[in-house]
Amino acid sequence: MRTRFFAFTLVELMVTVSIFAIMTAVSVPLIMQNRSDQALSSEAELVKEFILKAKNFAQNPENETAEAYLVRRVTSSQVEINRLVGGESFKIDQTLRLGQSQIANDFTPIIFKVPSGELSAGQNVDPVEVVVKSLSGRSQEKTIVASYPGVVNVR
């Protein structure tokens, strides 16, 4: 008495592999796009947190000697926090370097007054926009808006 073995045929295996290849070809670009979107969102959040760090410096009661703290663009991939004393700007060791994106615009420095932490824009209380742009091939960008009295949001 012979026993019969059940197995997959070569055609069945080829169809399965073909379907898997098509699914992979469709999903890989979507996954890569999602990763670049997440990287941009992450770096925009880093810039927002960095701006809020300057606000926290301004609200710290130990920083009485400073008049204000400002966030300014140094290069397209670097922003820093400076301290204003007697009308002069002094660099402190607070620098943020972006890796997968860049600051796309020359924004006016964002100045937070001591001790209130309010946004100081002199007579002008227009919101300051910082545009973070992705370095990937797609043109993606996020905008961080600092508005009076010191609200910072990502759009």
pLDDT at 123: 43
pLDDT at 19: 97
CA distances from 56 to 70, 75, 92, 119, 151 (A): 11, 23, 14, 12, 12
Q: Write down the pTM of the prediction.
A: 0.75
CATH 1.10.3720.10 fits 11-154, yes or no: no
What does the alpha-carbon distance between residue 106 and residue 130 come to, in Å, rounded to a whole number?
A: 8
What does the alpha-carbon distance between residue 110 and residue 150 come to, in Å, rounded to a whole number?
A: 10
Task: Output the tens digit of pLDDT for each of the chain's 155 residues.
Answer: 677 778 888 999 999 999 999 999 999 988 988 888 888 888 889 889 988 888 888 888 777 777 888 888 888 888 888 888 877 778 787 888 888 888 888 888 888 888 777 777 554 567 888 888 888 767 788 888 888 777 887 88
Q: Are 90 and 35 in contact (CB under 8 A)?
A: no
